[in-house]
Amino acid sequence: MQLSIKNKEYNYLIVGAGLFGSVFAHEMYKRNKKCLVIDRRNHIGGNTYCHDWEGINVHAYGAHIFHTNNEKIWKYVNSFAPFNSFINSPLAMYKGRLYNLPFNMNTFQQLWGVTTPMAAKAEVEKQINEASIKYPHNLEEQALSLVGNDIYQYFIKEYTEKQWGKRANELPPEIIKRIPIRFTYDNNYFNDKYQGIPVGGYNRLTETLLKNIEVRLNTDYISHKSLYNETAEKIVYTGMLDELFDFKLGKMEYRSLKFEHKRIDVSNYQGNAVINYTEGHIPYTRIIEHKHFEFGDQKHTVITQEYPQPFINVKETEPFYPINDNKNNILYKKYRELADKKENLILGGRLADYCYYDMHQVIASALKAVQKESSQL
């Protein structure tokens, strides 16, 4: 592989063309800084990347629905691409029956036949009291102490075990800090004021962010670290932090996903963008029908089945979810201490921060990093 590299040619080498890297590069370009963005994948956008399948924007790495309460962030993303009015109202399939999510009065009516908030609250409280768990020691006990047995058995237990590849009573309680319950007939999954999807897909957003930036795809930073470090005054790194340090303190754990995309010759396959399959014997966790994100009227459709799987390495699988248990968090802190000693290194994004972020949080953290960096210029 031939690399065209000049010593300190750029102000910033940005490793990763996802949302954090794209926002950081765009903002630094506005400040007359020269940036090079590289990514080991063959596309920009990170996990927000969409590919066009006969007029349908397919979310290549699972459903991405933008939502935020932050008006500044909402205006920011809309300055690069207009957003539609999509509202996320997923369904859950359990033993051949569909239930509304998140847990709300529609769900409780479907479960128990109750029609009033008073009756629903009484049933939830009765089941919580029956569980009689004061100090939860694992995820199962945590869920039972928050919502009781029915909601746990129908929607949480087997679904969570599929997601994490472990029994619910072996998972730490911290995975579920709270379970939102609504006593209104409201199927909007998010409570945020602003919600939608870029018209024409997320590529429009990231392409606009990176419009004037030099980008090199199919480019692996880790394999040529010492060489690429000479190209820029500072490195913005959005990849796995343990990989950056050659796993010398050990490997942090992640969960991965496999996506099976299928084109089907029907105009409407499931009538909803997202349906979760909560039973353990069904190998996928959900089916996504992409056309509903943009209210498509095509004569065909594209669905995606989402399968959780172990993360092995970046050549075979993608690291999607950090496993934030005590052991991994301690290891992350040790790697972070190593990173903090490098004055020319800036970390950001889900992998580098070893933290599950929503999209608006990634953008906010990138803007914060830009602000901090700009104050030092």
pLDDT given at position 26: 99
Q: Are 221 and 37 in contact (CB under 8 A)?
A: no
Tens digits of residue pLDDT in 222-252: 999 999 999 999 999 999 999 999 999 999 9
Taking alpha carbons only, the member of 260, 348, 357 closest to residue 25 is 348
- The mean predicted confidence, pLDDT, of the chain is 96
Question: 3: pLDDT confidence band, cut at 50, 70 and 90?
Answer: low
Q: What is the structure's pLDDT at 4?
A: 58
Tell me how crowded residue 196 is: count the other CB atoms within 10 A of its CB. 19
Closest CA to 155 of 113, 104, 101: 101
Q: Is 201 left (phi over 0), alpha (psi -120 to 50) or beta?
A: left
Cα 209 to Cα 27: distance, rounded to the nearest angstrom: 9
DSSP letters, 83-112, are B-------EEEETTEEEESSBSHHHHHHHH
**pLDDT given at position 232:** 96
Q: Name every residue whose Cβ is closer than 8 Å to that of residue 226 and which is 6 or more positions away in sequence.
A: none
Task: Write the burial class of residue 295 (CB in 10 Å: 0-12 exposed, 13-18 middle, 19+ buried).
Answer: exposed
Give the CA-trace dihedral at 186, 192, 196, 198, to 10 degrees: -170
Confidence of residue 377 (pLDDT cuts 50, 70, 90): low
Confidence of residue 2 (pLDDT cuts 50, 70, 90): very low
From the options 3.40.50.300, 3.30.360.10, 3.40.50.720, 3.40.50.150, give the CATH code of 10-86+193-253+321-376.
3.40.50.720
Query: How sure is the predictor about 10, in pLDDT bands with cuts at 50, 70 and 90?
Result: very high
Instruction: Please give the pLDDT value at position 292.
Output: 99
Judge whether 358 and 67 are in contact, CB under 8 Å. yes
Active-site residue set: 178, 182, 255, 286, 306, 356, 358
The model carries a pTM of: 0.94
Contacts of 37 (CB under 8 A, 6+ apart): 14, 16, 17, 21, 22, 25, 44, 210, 213, 214, 215, 216
Q: What is the average per-residue pLDDT within 316-339?
A: 95
| 3-state secondary structure at position 33 | coil
| Secondary structure percentages of the chain, helix, strand, coil, to 5 | 35, 20, 40
**Residue ranges per domain, the chain?**
10-86+193-253+321-376, 102-175
Contacts 24+ apart (CB under 8 A), 224-227: 224/1, 224/3, 227/3, 227/5
How far, in Å, CA of 177 to CA of 341, rounded? 33
Say which range, 37-51, 312-326, 334-348, has the weakest mean pLDDT.
Answer: 312-326
**Mean pLDDT, residues 182-189:** 97
Q: For residue 340, count CB atoms less than 10 angstroms from its CB and return exposed for 0-12, middle for 13-18, buried for 19 or more.
A: exposed
Percent pLDDT > 70 in the chain is 98
Concatenated DSSP letters of 289-300: EGGGGGT---SS
Task: For residue range 269-322, list pLDDT tens digits in order.
Answer: 999 999 999 999 999 999 999 999 999 999 999 999 999 999 999 889 999 999
Three-state secondary structure string covering 115-143: CCHHHHHHHHHHHHHHHCCCCCCCHHHHH
What's the confidence (pLDDT) of residue 176?
86
pLDDT tens figures, 109-155: 999 999 999 999 999 999 999 999 999 999 999 999 999 999 999 99
Residue 136 structure tokens: 């939860």
